[in-house]
Chain A
């Protein structure tokens, strides 16, 4: 167990933008909310999965909606806890531990605010290990844990309790409510016993985000900050390049697009591309896939080493594109079915990045 300091919050905020894999939105609102709730209600303890008791109840708290809206209509604090309390009533039990649903963007720190307000610890784990665009793309879903009851709340005090038949319907209904609630809402969608959480989450991800953030914010301590990052993430450098064109299209509220990239440094003369749906989906050299979902693919600024989200990629961006393995839970048949390349419309089988990169080496 460790107490999260404001410095930790800053590190996690930076690390989460790497684990966001090109998406996840600006972590700023989550960072400020976590800090202000800690200032108001006191510190938050981060506990590891080993410290979690089998009979403790774990509940996620996450923000849903358009990042542009969250940057304008800032959160209150009631919506941090009203959906969770609604689930407590519905299940007739008390929550003991908060868990982030994803460790990318705003949602990595948003639940820290809830933990501070409720004086509950936060679990050093999440249900994705990165950011994904849709709500059924959670490790709980992979283990047959479906959201039986879902509560959605807004800053005005509105709360809705949903009983979806599966994770897909949870996503459809909560998103529809989010639009009516003004484009941003807070969601608690599981109420799980500690014993069920063990083995169905990605462990240690807040600590991982914290370590990544610490590396990036103290990069003067490293001879090669990229190497330090890749070592920590067991990752691979895919290529260095310059973005030569970006095409974007917005469909059903998602930002789809492709960035064309011309090789730089050791990769001169080659052409690459990155395809994204908010998060990066595949990295290619010509038509050959170098890495794909569910593995993480991140474009890092070649100068600052900080990640550039898909929204911010533009002509002239100089990037080092890296990829690192997703959690093994995403590499099971149901994991690949839920968030593999075919789910996103690519007619190819998923091959782990270390195999793809091993072949080249």
Chain B
């Protein structure tokens, strides 16, 4: 028996879960998230070990989903200086790097930036040849500085050769230890967003090491000898080695883990997932057991990026949402008492009327506290809950991509607010361990491989082109650690290029497999 330990760091709580080798959930706990992140992780693991009585020597695998990278970027703390090289001259010089970045983030990150000759056209032709002299000149004053390098080339998702060549030259100039981020590994088409994500990834090199070393030392201190993995934002895992190269992929893994956990706890592969918290609720979409990705660019620390992020709709409804009474009746939120629910709301003896108080009046929660909300009439509470559920139903509907009823899985501590019958929902599921779905999601062992680039279909057999893309996604998944026998394609998207004749299209493919476990 080899148990799995999943840990997920959220804004308020750090959750831990222990699963057995069949992925049955054995025990889950919550601990407070600490400012240094590390302390909360340690406390959550200690607590789950103590309360579950699982023999720690039998924990074979430990998985962490953490907000450390996000915090570093948002707080502009602990970031590495980055020397950034864009390959694209003579194209692209009209819009230099770092435009529209927040000034303080740019100051924290930017060592130097340059644009050198090179780049590709959408059809793979070269815009210009590389010039070694330009690369050498860029490296000239970087020798004794501890900077990370980021490189992004025009249409590198179509052809990464130039990025790889420039990286090789930089290693020859600065030594093999220099840390280099290549943009084609980070994101798809969309130069500025991919460049931004690559620069941020390079700035997170030290943070990436801290994530990996910190988790491993916490485990060592607690006497756990487990193989470690880290959650990324597409719902799959990466190794410590991979995490140190691509720490940016840990950003946004929290909501993803929650959606993946909802899938595992309910065993439903296609559904909406509603995570009801204290202040807001997040709606995500499960498609073939993975979160649907957002098609919009993701803002990270005030910078637009284009790496994959789960498609999440946040709505201003949670357990602590304040109900405002007025002459016409009431309005719901959008403000919330948040973590102060335990002092301010009526069920806890306070005087602020919250969504939870109305649910308590209807005996949906806090069953022993109904006397504290006796001043709310049943009819009133009915209409408050009806208004909340109308907003929930409308928001759920917005996240569907087609009409027709689909299942809903509820997670999070405030899910008692949600009705069992909702328009457009075929069935509402409330799985066991619903309040620690994120830690459960972290413990699931899946790895993925992506392809996102422009292919020309002109004069070619469409199926042949797609087969090539699929094979590449599969081989990417295997190199990320997937068991080759388990890899399958879970998503293919073909997006034709507008305003341009000819058969070119952007193709996105995702392959996923089970983690190859060395046991």
Contact = CB atoms under 8 A, between A and B. Distances in A.
Interface of A: 25, 28-29, 32-33, 35-37, 65-69, 71-78, 80, 113, 133, 155-157, 175, 178-179, 182-183, 242, 244-245, 250, 252-255, 278, 311, 314-318
Contacts of B95: 29, 32-33, 36, 74-75
Interface stretch (B200-208, B320-328, B400-408): B400-408
B99 interface: yes
Given A253-B501, A315-B403, A72 B100 contact: no
The residue in B96, B123, B497 that gathers the most chain A C-beta atoms within 10 A of its C-beta is B497
A73 B94 contact: no
A316 B498 CA distance: 23
A174 to B, nearest CB: 12
A183 B121 contact: yes
Given A32-B192, A183-B122, A74 B499 contact: no
Interface string B269-313: 000000000000000000000000000000000000000000000
Given A35-B99, A71-B192, A252-B501, 5 more contacts: A74-B192, A178-B500, A182-B122, A311-B498, A315-B402
Contact of A244 (B394, B403, B501): B403
Given A74-B91, A113-B94, A316 B189 contact: no
B190 A69 contact: no
Contacts of B189: 68, 71-72
Contacts of A37: 94
B401 A314 contact: yes
B358 interface: no
B119 interface: yes
A69 B500 contact: yes
A181 to B, nearest CB: 9
Given A74-B92, A78-B90, A156-B90, A68 B497 contact: yes
In the complex, the 7 A-B pairs of residues with the closest C-beta atoms, listed nearest first? A66-B500, A74-B92, A182-B121, A316-B398, A250-B496, A75-B94, A155-B91
A71 B191 contact: yes
Interface of B: 88-96, 99-100, 119, 121-123, 125, 127-128, 154-155, 189-192, 394, 397-403, 454, 495-502, 506
Q: What DSSP secondary structure best describes chain B's contact surface?
A: loop
12 contacts: A33-B95, A68-B498, A68-B506, A74-B92, A74-B191, A75-B91, A76-B90, A155-B91, A182-B127, A183-B121, A245-B402, A316-B397
Q: What DSSP secondary structure best describes chain A's contact surface?
A: mixed
B498 A255 contact: yes
Given A35-B99, A278-B498, A80 B94 contact: yes
B96 to A, nearest CB: 6
Contacts of B400: 315-316
The residue in B95, B100, B502 that gathers the most chain A C-beta atoms within 10 A of its C-beta is B95
Contacts, number: 138
Nearest to B498: A255
A73 B500 contact: no
A182 B497 contact: no
Contacts of A157: 90
A74 B94 contact: yes
A69 B505 CA distance: 11
Contacts of B88: 73-74
Contact of A72 (B89, B125, B190): B190
B127 A66 contact: no
B502 to A, nearest CB: 7
Contacts of A244: 403
A252 B498 CA distance: 9
Contacts of A318: 394, 398
A22 B89 CA distance: 33
The residue in B121, B399, B400, B454 that gathers the most chain A C-beta atoms within 10 A of its C-beta is B121
Contacts of B403: 244-245, 315
Contacts of B128: 156
Contact of A66 (B90, B402, B499): B499
The residue in B399, B499, B500, B502 that gathers the most chain A C-beta atoms within 10 A of its C-beta is B499
Nearest to B158: A72
B154 A32 contact: no
A33 B91 CA distance: 12
Contact of B500 (A65, A71, A77, A316): A65
Nearest to B193: A71
A295 B273 CA distance: 41
Contacts of B398: 316-318
A69 B91 contact: no
Given A36-B99, A73-B154, A66 B498 contact: yes
A183 B155 CA distance: 12
A262 to B, nearest CB: 9
A288 B471 CA distance: 49
Given A36-B99, A72-B191, A250 B498 contact: yes
Nearest to B402: A315
A255 to B, nearest CB: 5
A179 B497 contact: no
Contacts of A314: 401
The residue in A76, A157, A244, A317 that gathers the most chain B C-beta atoms within 10 A of its C-beta is A76
B325 to A, nearest CB: 23
Contacts of A253: 497-502
A36 B98 CA distance: 11
